[in-house]
Amino acid sequence: MGHASRINSRPERQTGHIVRDSAFGLAPDLLEPVVQLTNRIWTGSSVNPALLEMVRLRNARTVNCTICKATRYAQAKADGLDENKVGKVADGYLDSDLSVREKLALEFTDVYLKNPAGASPDLLARLRTEFSDAQIADMAVALTTFHAMSRCAVSLGGLPESLPVFEMSVPSI
């Protein structure tokens, strides 16, 4: 059973921006650079949106953020991500028919989430067979941002037990 929301207020000035108008908007000094970063991750990344979405959903699943798990970004769908592939982000993905590149991205995600000190030069060598250093950096920043925001949503409470899948666009700046 999830916790009731710990935050009852919303920003006085509603802007039409889904994140700024949420509880996050109560702390705008920190939120503004986060909004800019999130936009940069999706619009300026050297990693394609479908793969970023797989990383995001693997994180959402691990953190158990119900709203993150239910969200599908339109940009990832337009890049070819479908529900069949989303289903393969589950445990056991290493035995799935996902590509080597996709499996490596999820393995990178799991190391970050479960044991970051367990990363090894072998993992980096394998990552470099599929990703440039810029792509590894972009994927790392995307992952750490997804993780921070999903944990924030869980911590502040008020999430439903489950939600149907819904599609939305990445919030603009």
Partner 1 sequence: MAFTTANIGLALNASADVRTAYQAVWDGLWQQRHLPPALLELARLRLAALHQAPREAALRPALAESTGLDAAKIESTLSGNWYKDAAFSAGERAVLAYTEVYAQDPEAISDELAADVLANYGEPGLVCLTEALGFIDGRIRLALMFSHLGGAR
Interaction between residue 98 and partner 1 (CB under 8 A)? no
Interaction between residue 129 and partner 1 (CB under 8 A)? no
Q: Kindly tell me which residue out of 12, 13, 16, 29 binds partner 1, with binding defined by CB under 8 A.
A: 29
Q: Which residues contact 46 (CB under 8 A, 6 or more apart)?
A: 132, 134, 135, 138
Distance of CA 52 to the CA centre of its chain: 7
Minimum distance of partner 1 from residue 22's CB (angstroms) = 9
Minimum distance of partner 1 from residue 58's CB (angstroms) = 15
Q: Kindly tell me which residue out of 145, 158, 170, 171 binds partner 1, with binding defined by CB under 8 A.
A: 145
Minimum distance of partner 1 from residue 122's CB (angstroms) = 9
- Residue type for position 56: R
- CB burial class (10 A; 0-12, 13-18, 19+) of residue 13? exposed
Interaction between residue 162 and partner 1 (CB under 8 A)? no
Q: How far is CA 15 from CA 22, 27, 34, 107, 111, in A?
A: 10, 15, 16, 38, 38
Interaction between residue 46 and partner 1 (CB under 8 A)? yes
**Near partner 1 in 8-27, by CB under 8 A:** 8-9, 23-24, 26-27
Q: How many CA atoms lie within 13 A of 145 on its CB side?
A: 19
Q: Kindly tell me which residue out of 16, 92, 121, 160 binds partner 1, with binding defined by CB under 8 A.
A: 121
**DSSP letters of 107-146?**
HHHHHHHH-GGG--HHHHHHHTTT--HHHHHHHHHHHHHH
Question: Which spans of this chain sit near partner 1 (rule: CB under 8 A)?
Answer: 2-4, 6-9, 23-24, 26-27, 29-34, 36-37, 40-41, 44-46, 63-64, 111-112, 116-121, 123-125, 128, 132-138, 140-142, 144-145, 147-149, 151-152, 154-157
